[in-house]
Amino acid sequence: MKYLVLCLIVAASHAGVLKDEESKNIPRANLQRLIAIDPPGFIVEWLPVESMDPGEPVIGYKVKVWEQQSKKSYSYQNVDGENKLVEKDILEKLPKNDIPSFAPIELDVKGADTTSIEYKNIKRGIEYEVRVQAYSSKGRGPLSGEMTIQLS
């Protein structure tokens, strides 16, 4: 009985590793456009991706969204004749032509024929970077190029 449980644990953990590996048969997704919508949000559209191996079909897409981060800045300012420590939020720019170093929000889109998704409740004045990635049961393809959107 212990052997069966151990085999199941190994098989389950191995299946999870496979899905997160890159697949050479899944080409790069082609991100088409971001469309601003109201209430604040956007629609992400991309072209469908076809696997180069019929035995490893595309079964969905990961849409990855990075939200511009803010950091705290402190400085002394003269307020009513006194020097006081003032806190400010400063928005950090998203890196251009590079994947941000922090984790994205990841949206899972099931089905190879679904090529758009709506992302809502964004913050005005914040920049968002979006990339798309096709995946199969055996792995994921490379990330698309990035597109950014910011609603004022």
30-37: average pLDDT: 96
User: Which residues are paired to 62 by β-bridges?
Assistant: 108, 133
53-57: average pLDDT: 95
Write out the residue range of the structural domain in which residue 58 sits: 2-150
- Nearest Cα neighbor of 106 from 44, 22, 51 is 44
What is the number of structural domains in the chain? 1
pTM of the full structure: 0.74
List pLDDT tens digits, range 75-104. Answer: 888 888 888 887 776 666 666 767 777 889
Mean of all residue pLDDT scores within the chain: 83
CA distances from 137 to 26, 38, 104, 115 (A): 11, 35, 22, 18
Q: Which two tokens stand for residue 140?
A: 């994921």
Asked, as a colleague might, if the bond just before 100 is cis with ω within 30 of 0, I would say no
Spatial distance between the Cα atoms of 28 and 49, rounded to a whole number of angstroms: 8
Can you give the pLDDT at residue 110?
97
Q: Is the pLDDT of residue 65 over 80?
A: yes
Q: Is the pLDDT of residue 3 over 50?
A: no
Q: Is the pLDDT of residue 8 over 60?
A: no
Contact, 90 vs 68, CB < 8 A? no
Can you give the pLDDT at residue 113?
95
Query: Percent of the chain having pLDDT more than 90?
Result: 54
Can you give the pLDDT at residue 91?
65
What CATH number has the domain bearing residue 138? 2.60.40.10
14-32: average pLDDT: 76
Contact, 45 vs 115, CB < 8 A? yes
